[in-house]
Amino acid sequence: MQTLYFDLRETKGQQKVVEDRINAAARILREGGLVGIPTETVYGLGANGLDPQAVKHIFEAKGRPQDNPLILHVTGPQWLPRYCEDIPPMAYVLARRFWPGPLTMILKRKPIVPDETTAGLDTVGVRCPDHPVTLAIIREAGVPIAAPSANTSGRPSCTTAQDVLEDMDGKIEGVVDGGPCTVGVESTILDLTCTPPRLLRPGGLPVEELERLIGPIEVDKAVVAPMKEGEQPRAPGMKYRHYAPVAPVTVITGSPDASAREIQKRAGKTAGIICFDEYAHLFSNMEVHTLGPSHDKLTQAQRVFDALRTFDNSSVTEIFAQCPDNRGLGLAVSNRLKKAAGFHVIQADSQRVVLGLTGGTGAGKTSALNAIRELGGMVIDCDAVYYEMLASRQDMRNDIATVFPGVFRSDGSLDRQKLGQEVFAKKDRLDQLNQIVYRYLIPELENRIREAKANLCAIDAINLLEAGVNVLCDRTIAVTAPTELRVRRIMARDGISEQYARMRISAQKPDEYYRTKCDCVLNNAAETSAAFQIEAKDFFERLIESIKEEKSHGTV
């Protein structure tokens, strides 16, 4: 079969040409053929999603396992009731906010959707892609387009029309070239048939953005760990070896510095390296594909599949990859890398344990930190670091002075009262200050941890989570206590009235906040701080043990 190529990249002012090509692609689809189509995430291999025969051809062309369902691509929420039933209102809320865009919703299907498309499930995935060409093709075809990623099954997904031709030339009727994909990783898949909604695949739309709109989302186990023998993930596709280049891949997690050093230690001459731009120079005698700057997750998403695919045209015998943290788009990038590695993941600095402690006043953080010191750990007090940086980091001081003119006196000292007045009553001003400080705080903490002699570090911060310091931590720990105990402790400690103690507590975030956001909870109901310190020491000993154990198995 000859695969037709429709170029729709630079077509400004060529209305007629564009229409002809879109119509031609739509006609192929309507008549039961297969067309590679551009989306913002990755290229799709499209067919009429209501035509069982056409859908069968998708599975043949990709070599895709029969039990792996396809996503229906539509032009907007108005198409939902045609193919889905029992649609929860939340689906419309999400569609209005995030469509067109990289969000696939799993909903109950209507009988009109054939078993071939859903692999026999009673649910169907639906998404509205954010690409004008493909939206025009779907509109013109007048049918929902079933489209998996356009790669041969098992290979990394395609982010250019050339990638699609590499895998599908001669096997499909056409490819539409709409330029390189702007997101680069597939859509985020959210199952709305359960409560709370469940994340089946992290993707181009960060979970944090979804949670901001609809509240907590449960993350399916298959997202972060390999499936065990006999286990069934909710998204059938998550169980297959995926995105994998021919050479075996090892992902090295940990801070960028630590993972780069670890790769240097492990990589031989014939190794291929996937790393952040800043570290490419360390591997100058090897084949390197860079992911972009370590802080730029969008670029990493755009490049991750290309990096993985390109190694198949080279003779490297093994591949080592650096990996971003799990925040924002990082979760999708790291998931793709880890799946490419069959979850063969090694944590750099596996002997070092970093704990983040947070919680309100009077809960017992001080005793908990003493327990860490007893275990030989180093404690980093973020407040102290902040004041040190205020005195010594000229770049941070400049940034603050730009946004808060006049808070530094002519002799360079900080007018704390003035800054305090600026931020205390005004939340947006406080946010501005925090944004500046957090930007400097994380690299500073990273340095201190790196230079620490101790193998155990604890970071003490009331704003641990808001500042994003959790990315540096193996575990975050909420230190909490019953309110009545906290009131009594603060009264005794600070010599204040009961009313004032209660006011101080209610001015802070409730325990519930820390409890739900942290990895673990250390609750302090002990009668004395000495008793609590003993309990805390025991708690940390066990926690550290399990973290080390986990790291040595290397599947975090």
Binding site for Mg ion (CB under 5 A): 149
Contact status: 104 vs ligand TXA (CB under 6 A) = yes
> Among 79-87, 185-193, 401-409, 535-543, which window interacts with ligand TXA (CB under 6 A)?
185-193
**Distance in Å, CB of 326 to ligand TXA, minimum:** 19
Give the containing element (helix H, strand E) for 452. none
Name the residue nearer to ligand TXA (CB basis): 84 or 363.
Answer: 84
Under DSSP, the state recorded for 269 is T
Contact status: 178 vs ligand TXA (CB under 6 A) = no
Residue nearest to ligand TXA (CB): 237
* Contact call for residues 238 and 223 (beta carbons, < 8 A): yes
Contact status: 299 vs ligand TXA (CB under 6 A) = no
Evaluated on CA atoms 240, 244, 250, 255, the torsion sign reads negative
Residues 6+ apart with CB under 8 A from 506: none
**Distance in Å, CB of 303 to ligand TXA, minimum:** 16
Rg of the Cα atoms in the chain: 27
**Distance in Å, CB of 109 to ligand TXA, minimum:** 7
**Distance in Å, CB of 76 to ligand TXA, minimum:** 15
Name the residue nearer to ligand TXA (CB basis): 42 or 407.
Answer: 42
CA distance 444 to 107: 45
Q: Using the rule CB under 6 A, which residue among 234, 289, 336, 537 binds ligand TXA? A: 234
Torsion of CA 12, 14, 19, 24, to 10 degrees: -100
Torsion of CA 322, 520, 460, 332, to 10 degrees: 30
Q: Using the rule CB under 6 A, which residue among 48, 75, 118, 370 binds ligand TXA? A: 118
Which residue in the block uniquely carries the two structure tokens 């942290």? 518
Q: Which does 68 bind (CB under 5 to 8 A by kind): ligand TXA, Mg ion, none?
A: ligand TXA
Contact status: 114 vs ligand TXA (CB under 6 A) = no
Contact status: 39 vs ligand TXA (CB under 6 A) = yes
The token pair at 88 is 């929860």
Q: How many residues bind ligand TXA (CB under 6 A)?
A: 31
Name the residue nearer to Mg ion (CB basis): 242 or 475.
Answer: 242
CA distance 174 to 169: 9
* Contact call for residues 234 and 304 (beta carbons, < 8 A): no
Contact status: 173 vs ligand TXA (CB under 6 A) = no
Which residue in the block uniquely carries the two structure tokens 């067109």? 100
Strand ranges in 249-286 using DSSP code E only, listed in sequence order? 249-253, 271-275
- Residues near ligand TXA (CB under 6 A) are 39, 41-42, 44, 68-71, 102, 104, 106, 118, 121, 123-125, 127, 129, 147-149, 186-187, 189, 200-201, 234-238
